[in-house]
Amino acid sequence: RPEDEVHAMAIREQLYYDVRSSVDDEHAAMLERKNMIEKRKEEAERLAQERLKEEMLAKAAKEAARKAEEEARKAVEERKRRQEKAQMIQKKMEDMEKKKIMKAMGRSLDNLTEEDLAKLDADKLAKEHADKDKKKKEAAERKTKEMAKKLDYTFRAIAIEELPLIKKKYE
Q: Is 113 helix (H, G, I), strand (E, B) or coil?
A: coil
Q: Could you tell me if 76 and 156 lie in one domain?
A: no
Q: Could you tell me if 115 and 147 lie in one domain?
A: no
Q: Could you tell me if 97 and 126 lie in one domain?
A: no
Render pLDDT for 96-153 as a digit per residue (tens, 0 to 9): 887 887 777 777 777 777 777 677 777 777 788 888 889 999 999 999 999 999 999 8
Pinpoint the alpha helices (H) of the chain: 2-105, 114-119, 122-170
Q: Label residue 92 by pLDDT band (50, 70, 90).
A: confident
Q: Could you tell me if 84 and 135 lie in one domain?
A: no
Q: Could you tell me if 24 and 89 lie in one domain?
A: yes
Q: How many Å apart are CA 49 and CA 57, to the nearest integer?
A: 12
Q: Could you tell me if 116 and 126 lie in one domain?
A: no
Render pLDDT for 74-86 as a digit per residue (tens, 0 to 9): 999 999 999 999 9
Q: Total domain count for the chain? A: 2
Q: Could you tell me if 86 and 169 lie in one domain?
A: no
Dihedral angle over CA of 159, 164, 170, 171, nearest 10? 160
Q: How many Å apart are CA 18 and CA 25, to the nearest integer?
A: 11
Q: Which residues lie closer than 8 Å to 120 by C-beta, 6 or more apart?
A: 98, 102
> CA-based angle 131:132:134, to the nearest 5?
60
Q: Label residue 48 by pLDDT band (50, 70, 90).
A: very high
Contact present, 105 and 132 (Cβ < 8 Å): yes
Q: Label residue 168 by pLDDT band (50, 70, 90).
A: confident
Contact present, 99 and 109 (Cβ < 8 Å): yes
Q: How many Å apart are CA 27 and CA 139, to the nearest integer?
A: 128
Of 106, 100, 140, which Cα lies nearest the Cα of 120?
100
Q: Which domain holds residue 137?
A: 121-171
Q: Could you tell me if 89 and 130 lie in one domain?
A: no
Q: Could you tell me if 73 and 135 lie in one domain?
A: no
Q: Could you tell me if 42 and 96 lie in one domain?
A: yes
Q: Could you tell me if 86 and 115 lie in one domain?
A: yes
- pTM for this structure? 0.45
